[in-house]
Amino acid sequence: MAQQERIRYFGAALLAVVLIVGGGWWLWRGGHHARLPAELAPNIPDDIALRLDHVTFRGLSGGKIVWEVVADHFDLTKDQLKFNVNGLKRVALLNEGRQELMVSADSLERDMSNGNISVQGHVLMTGTDLVFRTPGLAWDDQRQVLNIPHALAAQLGDISIVAKDGATYDVAHGYLRCPGPIVIGTRGNVLRAGAALFSAHGQQFTLFTPVSADLLIADTGSAGYVLPQIPEIPMQIIERYRTYCRRLGQP
């Protein structure tokens, strides 16, 4: 898979997880409005109308499970404007019973009034040729933008990305922006840049200055030709250089 395709899959995967989690809670909310008696859960905060412990939600399509959410507990506020999920063990996308993408985090919160979602604490996403880690992220539902304000570390196949100042994925325009220093590594080659812009639609990326690269050079070319050897410096040139250095008082 090409680097640009991995970047596009990475952004699409993030969006898919956010939308599936949010949509799942909306479906659940439609059939649950009852409040738990206070005596059954004396430690519930005053603004919480409903708490479910050790929950598992599943989404079905054609009689098959296509996504699954497992968490320690789920809270719904009395005004029904927010729900909170703590101890998010797993948000999984399934295909024919096989897990294709998984997300875990400490907590998830959705604002019902605007659809925004915040995922915080040890966010980990894993999938086919994909590993993604960050302390937290937020989904802006109106702008259709995924904001990753913290440091981001990702592995996309044989390509690694470390973005010190996080990233922003603009779904509408298909851009992944890394506004701060970024390091891209693949097969021993390393690219460093002051910022980066990845285009999912055009399969292109732009690195912004300062840009540097550490590249591995093989002994032979791809066609099997031996690379030319650097010739030795003639002795008379070496002696002239030594004489010049002595005149300057250098050893």
207-226 per-position pLDDT tens digit: 998 999 988 776 555 555 55
What percentage of the chain reaches a pLDDT higher than 70?
70
- Cα gap 238→235, rounded to integer Å: 5
Residue pair 200/224 in contact (Cβ under 8 Å)? The answer is no
73-92 mean pLDDT: 85
Q: Identify the pLDDT of residue 135.
A: 95
Full-prediction pTM beyond 0.85? no
Tell me the CA distances in angstroms from 151 to 35, 69, 136, 167, one per residue in order.
39, 25, 9, 8
* DSSP character string of 81-136: SEEEEEEEEEEEEEETTEEEEEEEEEEEEEETTT--EEEEEEEEEEETTEEEEEEE
Q: What band does 165 get if pLDDT is binned at 50, 70 and 90? A: very high
139-167 mean pLDDT: 90
Q: Identify the pLDDT of residue 163.
A: 94
Residue pair 156/149 in contact (Cβ under 8 Å)? The answer is no
241-248 mean pLDDT: 68
